[in-house]
Structure 1
């Protein structure tokens, strides 16, 4: 099977959104961002039965979001390794609910803050020219493209929801000079 492709998979079909919209399947995708895994490994990480995980893996596979990358013979059985088809997903230009979908996904991932744990959620507005907005979007895309490696250094995952969008905020006219 082919390795994970570097260009983003363009999401457009209802099957893809349905597949990603389920919390268990969303968690499976986040696990597979780290590396390919077997049903047994995914089941252990999620604390779910192998049959339950197998069902959700099949839904993700049928939606074209993950694929079988490798099989290995082990103790008379076969282990199958699954991986994402792409390192990133993006929305087709005709998809209207993309931002809402991402916001709902981020809300589903948010855990309550534990004592001593850093957390900061805020809404800020920037006043930018069109060129500055394009430059900022390009800088954010560079950081977004960094690998999702797990290197065993006891790091905890934190979500970062960044959205650069034209805001629906009215603009006051300048005050008249005296």
Structure 2
């Protein structure tokens, strides 16, 4: 007897939903669905609450929640009775998402998502963005990637609470940077290259 794993809903050991199916990336690729998922990370919410938060109609929100539900990224958290009716509260299926190593997209997907969230800095607020280029061996790159994952999952980052929302994007990726040849590799002809 064989067991088929549903990789679209696999969780890794850190309780990340591991994204590997193109349906999941299509679901997340729509800006409203991305924002919906980010709003639901605060707490479970109804379609009416989501519509108010995102300045959209309840019907539009209902459609996009259904797409996220079919992609196994959102689920019904609970139902509450109100004045002879019911309200359905939705929540993310996992507190965090992770892109599978064999996924049809890479880190650029998350970078584009982060860019769509980015707001201009406040007058007195922090706005720190760095871009560094490093030359690393494979072993060094794996060690740095592990350290970044540990930092992002660590207890030293405050849990969401009162205050302003901030994004944290950590990316270690291969870069398309031209590599200059060594001086010795160049041949000179009469003092000119």
TM-score w.r.t. length of structure 2: 0.76
Q: Which range moves more in the overlay, 53-62 or 129-138?
A: 129-138
- What SS class does the counterpart of residue 161 from structure 1 fall into? coil
Q: Using CA pairs below 8 Å that are at least 6 residues apart, which structure has the higher relative contact order?
A: 1
Contact 1:34 1:149 in 2 (8 A): no
Misfit runs of 4+, over 6 Å: none
Q: Deviations over 1:85-132 (max 9, x none)?
A: 112222222224222211211111111223233223332113334343
Q: Please name the residue that 1:173 is paired with.
A: 182
- Which residue, 90, 96, 105 being the options, matches 1:88? 96
Identify the residue that residue 51 of structure 1 maps to in structure 2.
59
Contact 2:75 2:91 in 1 (8 A): yes
Q: Answer whether contact 1:37 1:83 (CA < 8 A) is retained.
A: yes
RMSD after superposition: 2.4
Structure 2 portions without partners, runs of 5+: 1-10, 186-193
Q: What is the aligned length?
A: 170
Corresponding residue number in structure 1 for 2:191: none
Mapped pair 1:12 → 2:13: no
Is the CA contact (8 Å cut-off) linking 1:25 and 1:57 kept in structure 2? yes
Determine if contact 1:33/1:148 at 8 Å carries over to the other structure.
Answer: no
Match of 1:151 in 2: 161
Within the alignment, does 1:21 sit opposite 2:10 as a pair? no
**Cα displacement string for residues 2-31 of structure 1 (whole angstroms, at most 9, x for unaligned residues):** xxx652222122221111011111011111
Structure 1 residue 40 corresponds to structure 2 residue 36: no
Give yes or no for contact 2:73–2:92 (8 Å, CA) kept in 1: yes
Q: Once structures 1 and 2 are overlaid, which stretch shifts more, 140-149 or 83-92?
A: 140-149
- Find the aligned partners of 1:104 and 1:20 in 2 and give their Cα distance: 11
Tell which deviates more after alignment, 99-108 or 122-131: 122-131
TM-score (normalizing by structure 1): 0.82
What SS class does the counterpart of residue 37 from structure 1 fall into? coil
Equivalents in 2 of 1:136, 1:157: separation in Å? 27
Distance 1:45 1:133 in 2: 40
